[in-house]
């Protein structure tokens, strides 16, 4: 299968400080790639480089386009939807207003995905008139994902969607993301510290350590890797 996203020798910088040291990474069209690594490894920075939010070097190819010189807005307009760490929903707006903003934000075009999203996330339909700030953590994460999907992206980029959530809630959210990937033909790049769940769901996996990819391969191979098992799976 062809890659929808490919990073070749990508470096990223905060000011003078280089935090990614030339990483290679791919997401297959329609597939799910997981990026693992400890705190500070560079996972979020990798997503920021893809989305044009940090200075980078090397090549970032998305659906035949080079992204390195593009603005964050252009990249979103090409079909890359980013759900950042901490979710970034507008807590003072209602659920429905958040979704509507998601539809316009990237492209300035309305998309008619509201009912589709309420289908995948029925709890959001129930809470459509409530302020986002009144939702539980899990519901806010669902809203952030649904909002990103309102623009009909080709690639969904998720930064630790499980953060701070109970295992049962994480499983529910991952289950919905997996269904959306299959049914809506959205490719997914997932950053996770919850390695066992992520590796069970993904097809490819990468392990980052201090700005380097130290291991990569099929998610199955990484799940069977003794070092990964010891360090990230706890058995």
Ligand X SMILES: Nc1ncnc2c1ncn2[C@@H]1O[C@H](COP(=O)(O)OP(=O)(O)OP(=O)(O)O)[C@@H](O)[C@H]1O
Nearer to Mg ion, 94 or 193 (CB): 193
CA-to-CA distance for 209 and 20, rounded, in angstroms?
A: 10
- Give the CB-nearest residue to Mg ion: 44
What's phi and psi for 153, nearest 5 deg? Answer: -75, 165
Interacting residues toward Mg ion by CB under 5 A: 43-44
Q: Which two tokens stand for residue 102?
A: 């998601």
CB of 191 to Mg ion, least distance (A): 6
Residue 88 burial class via C-beta count within 10 angstroms: exposed 0-12, middle 13-18, buried 19 and up: middle
Which option in ligand X, Mg ion, none does residue 187 bind, with CB closer than 5 to 8 A by kind? none
Nearer to ligand X, 52 or 79 (CB): 52
Nearer to ligand X, 41 or 95 (CB): 41
Instruction: Based on the shown chain and the rule CB under 6 A, indicate whether residue 14 belongs to the binding site for ligand X.
Output: yes
Which option in ligand X, Mg ion, none does residue 204 bind, with CB closer than 5 to 8 A by kind? none
Q: Which two tokens stand for residue 62?
A: 């998305």
CB of 40 to Mg ion, least distance (A): 8
- Residue partners of 104: CB distance under 8 A and separation at least 6: 110
Nearer to Mg ion, 103 or 157 (CB): 157
What does DSSP say about strands 204-209 and 212-218: parallel, antiparallel, or unpaired? antiparallel
Contacts to ligand X from residues 26-45, by CB under 6 A? 37, 39-45
26 within 8 A of 7, measured Cβ to Cβ: yes
Q: How many residues bind ligand X (CB under 6 A)?
A: 10
Instruction: Based on the shown chain and the rule CB under 6 A, indicate whether residue 52 belongs to the binding site for ligand X.
Output: no
């Amino acid at each position: 299968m062809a890659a929808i996203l490919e990073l070749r020798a990508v470096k990223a910088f905060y000011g003078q400080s280089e935090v990614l040291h030339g990483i290679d990474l791919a997401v297959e069209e329609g597939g799910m790639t997981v990026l693992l690594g400890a705190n500070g490894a560079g996972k979020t920075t990798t997503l920021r480089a893809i989305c044009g939010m940090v200075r980078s070097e090397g090549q970032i190819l998305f659906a035949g386009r080079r992204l390195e010189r593009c603005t964050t807005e252009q990249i979103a307009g090409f079909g890359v939807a980013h759900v950042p760490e901490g979710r970034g929903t507008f807590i003072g707006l209602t659920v429905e207003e958040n979704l509507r903003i998601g539809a316009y934000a990237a492209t300035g075009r309305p998309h008619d995905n509201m009912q589709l999203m309420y289908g995948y996330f029925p709890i959001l339909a129930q809470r459509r008139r409530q302020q986002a700030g009144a939702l539980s953590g899990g519901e806010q994460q669902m809203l952030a994902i649904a909002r990103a999907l309102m623009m009909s992206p080709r690639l969904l980029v998720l930064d630790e969607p499980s953060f701070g959530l109970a295992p049962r809630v994480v499983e529910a959210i991952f289950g919905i993301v997996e269904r959306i990937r299959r049914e809506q033909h959205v490719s997914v790049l997932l950053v996770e510290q919850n390695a066992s769940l992520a590796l069970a769901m993904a097809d490819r996996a990468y392990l980052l350590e201090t700005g380097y990819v130290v291991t990569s391969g099929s998610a199955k191979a990484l799940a069977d890797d003794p070092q990964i098992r010891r360090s990230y799976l706890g058995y």
